[in-house]
Amino acid sequence: MKNVIRLFIIASVTLTAFSDVMAQAPGGQQGGQRGGQGGQRGGMQQRGPNALQLLNLAVVQKDLKLTNDQIASLKDLAQEMQKQMGGMRDRRQNGEEFNMQEEMQRIQTMGEDGMKAILDDAQEARMKQIMLQAEGIRAIGRPEVQTALVLTAAQKTEIKAIMDAFQKAIQEMRGGQGGRGQGGQGGGQATQPTAEERKAQQEKMKVLTDKLEADLLKVLTADNKAKLSELQGAKIDLPKMDAGGRGQGGGRGQGGGPGAAGGAGAGPETGPGAGPR
């Protein structure tokens, strides 16, 4: 059942750690690269909250019937993962050269193994359903979901074209600001967007994500939609959260558990909703 949590741990560790570490790169060069590559990185970040962020929600904890001991263990796991990612950032700031991919794989494996040890089989299975709900319609871009829905080759091709167009739109939207690195390859510190710029970006992002979800829904047949709903299981009232674990109001998800796993905020973008109703 390892694949139950793998995708969301990957999203948490790879994207959050990469953005945090590269944002703190020494010497200005990486800062300039980040500004140039902001569109590409931003496109990758269009995922929903990861498993540990979802487990921080009281509604999820209640649905899974987590015990106080399990909640405490998940919080400890999240804090340890955050500590490990912070260590990567510090090492990068200090100019240390290391294989970032291997380090992220190590942290990812630690998260997978830790969650597998904390949750029982029934809770893992239910988490798979909840994560599909959180990921929403965009889940149909994953090969294993496409197989479960028995999508045709033509449908898969259309889905890829839609998602590629979305990624291109994100890159174009951010191409002029990205990380707002100064001076290109040799630039210095990246500057932060203003409140007005963040609001404008959020509005543009909403238009793009709404179009993405609508276009993806059109690809599915009635049978496909029914099967996806079946895979998602009993609906749970999840708040809309971004990849940094923030709700629409900008705060972290409520609950007493593992919020630290989200790491630094991934930006203003939010993932899709709970998928087809």
Among 271, 260, 272, smallest CA distance to 16 is for: 260
**Between the CA of residue 72 and those of 66, 75, 142, 240, what are the distances in Å?**
10, 5, 32, 24
Alpha-carbon gap, residue 261 to 55, rounded angstroms: 10
Residue 246 pLDDT more than 60?
no
Average pLDDT over residues 257-271: 38
Residue 123 pLDDT more than 70?
yes
Distance of CA 91 to the CA centre of its chain: 24
Alpha-carbon gap, residue 182 to 165, rounded angstroms: 28
The Cβ of residue 73 has, within 10 Å, a number of other Cβ atoms equal to 19
Average pLDDT for the chain:
74
Residue 234 pLDDT more than 90?
yes
Residue 244 pLDDT more than 80?
no
**Between the CA of residue 81 and those of 88, 115, 122, what are the distances in Å?**
11, 12, 24
Q: Mean pLDDT lowest for which of 102-116, 192-206, 252-266?
A: 252-266
Q: What is the pLDDT of residues 167-178, one digit of tens each?
A: 999 998 877 554
Q: What is the pLDDT of residues 132-157, one digit of tens each?
A: 999 999 999 999 999 999 999 999 99
Q: What is the pLDDT of residues 38-95, one digit of tens each?
A: 333 333 334 556 788 899 899 999 999 999 999 999 999 999 998 988 888 888 888 8
Tell me phi and psi for residue 99, to 5 degrees: -85, 100
Q: Is the dihedral of CA 236, 241, 244, 249 positive or negative?
A: negative
Among 195, 196, 169, smallest CA distance to 39 is for: 169
How many residues would you count in the chain? 277
For the whole model, what pTM was predicted? 0.66
Residue 271 pLDDT more than 90?
no
Check residue 136 and give its pLDDT: 92
Alpha-carbon gap, residue 116 to 122, rounded angstroms: 11
Highest mean pLDDT among 16-20, 29-33, 209-213, 244-248: 209-213
Among 216, 170, 207, smallest CA distance to 43 is for: 170
Alpha-carbon gap, residue 127 to 119, rounded angstroms: 9
Alpha-carbon gap, residue 197 to 22, rounded angstroms: 22
